[in-house]
Structure 1
């Protein structure tokens, strides 16, 4: 069970990460591009769930490399709290229910999202120091 505080701790350890506010929610960027952000459900999102109960707790959105990667992540991590909603159709990002994800999986997913936008030299230096 992870929290937004855990997300903050992990992302601020990634070089070049900046915290910002976008659409009233916390967003983390590298190279000027968002790679992770809080994603509460909008009224339209909730309506689309219909009779189905939406995932609870804090929700995090993460970019992925492309739509093929999105499908791979969703298949591999469905049991770890990863999912998507119609609002994200055609967009290379996944959602994570923080109440359902382990620390190890969250760290890996945040690193993968960071790598999508991290400058190549920064990424190489960081990965070389691991």
Structure 2
């Protein structure tokens, strides 16, 4: 127990709390060299070097509720470093991440915004950082990693 009487240090409890959609925006925009453009419906698309790494998708026919057939209105796309990273996320039955045939061969995963709370802030932070790193230039990625590691 922490000296304050809390079961965990404040920093740890903040990192282990459930993530929110607002956290997606804050984390993505908080990465270096990020710009935000808006899609046709005003949906935010976070980019580094004009390359998208997180975006809020318009409802599309490939992501639908299996019971109602309604298009999901709240899909968020995150780039991933590799196909194996993608498969690890989408094959885990406890994970909120999924993919569709439209994204076959595309290094990204999907998650419904309504399910972001199934992730901890720490997990979401890693997803956003990995997304940024997978799309940033090698120079920007190396600079960020060196700064992050404190070197």
TM-score, normalized by the shorter chain, greater than 0.5:
yes
The structure with the largest helix share of the pair is 1
SS of the residue 1:45 aligns to: coil
Matched, 1:14 2:31: yes
Which has more radius of gyration?
A: 2
The structure with the largest strand share of the pair is 1
Gaps of 5+ in 1: none
The CA RMSD measured in Å over matched residues stands at: 2.6
TM-score normalised to structure 2 length: 0.70
Kindly indicate whether the alpha-carbon contact (under 8 Å) linking 1:63 and 1:92 is maintained by their aligned counterparts in 2. yes
Runs of 4+ in 1 over 4 A off after TM superposition: none
Relative contact order higher in (CA < 8 Å, ≥ 6 apart): 1
Gaps of 5+ in 2: 1-17
CA distance in 2, matches of 1:86, 1:10: 28
Matched, 1:84 2:99: yes
Matched, 1:27 2:45: yes
Kindly indicate whether the alpha-carbon contact (under 8 Å) linking 2:27 and 2:125 is maintained by their aligned counterparts in 1. yes
TM-score normalised to structure 1 length: 0.79
